[in-house]
Amino acid sequence: MARILIVDDSPTEMYKLTAMLEKHGHQVLKAENGADGVALARQEKPDAVLMDIVMPGLNGFQATRQLTKDADTSHIPVIIVTTKDQETDKVWGKRQGARDYLTKPIEEDTLIKTLNTVLAG
């Protein structure tokens, strides 16, 4: 299956997302902040990235923008997964290059369906 990079500073969310993805046969890579997420994505070239927004240092919007504007990583779809559920946040996330925007708490079937859609192109 696919290699998915999770970028989230919450150990609880990281655990939940990892469990859902591994249950469906995906390999999981992890980063605890935006800067590490960008570096790991450049190094490992995952099939997709699940990106939190609120993190110390480089936030998810900034990290998403870096990944989607960089020629080496622009092909990697980024799905924002966050508690920020305002319409302005969703619009801004898409403007940064995110392929989709999901709000926590996230249902497993929603996550997998969205992931399958972006992986299919």
Q: What is the reported pLDDT for 106? A: 95
Per-residue pLDDT at 63? 98
User: Residue 121 pLDDT more than 90?
Assistant: no
Provide CB contacts within 8 A for 71, sequence distance 6+. none
Identify the domain containing residue 98 by its residue range: 3-120
The reported pTM is 0.97
- Whether the ω angle into residue 56 lies within 30 degrees of 0, i.e. cis, is no
CATH assignment at residue 50: 3.40.50.2300
How much of the chain exceeds pLDDT 90, in percent?
Answer: 98
Mean pLDDT of 96-106: 97
Mean pLDDT of 44-68: 97
75 vs 121: which has the higher pLDDT: 75
The residues that bridge with 100 in the sheet, in sequence order, are 79
Using alpha carbons only, give the angle 39, 112, 59 rounded to the nearest 5 degrees: 35
Number of domains in the chain: 1
**Looking at residues 18-43, what average pLDDT do you find?**
98
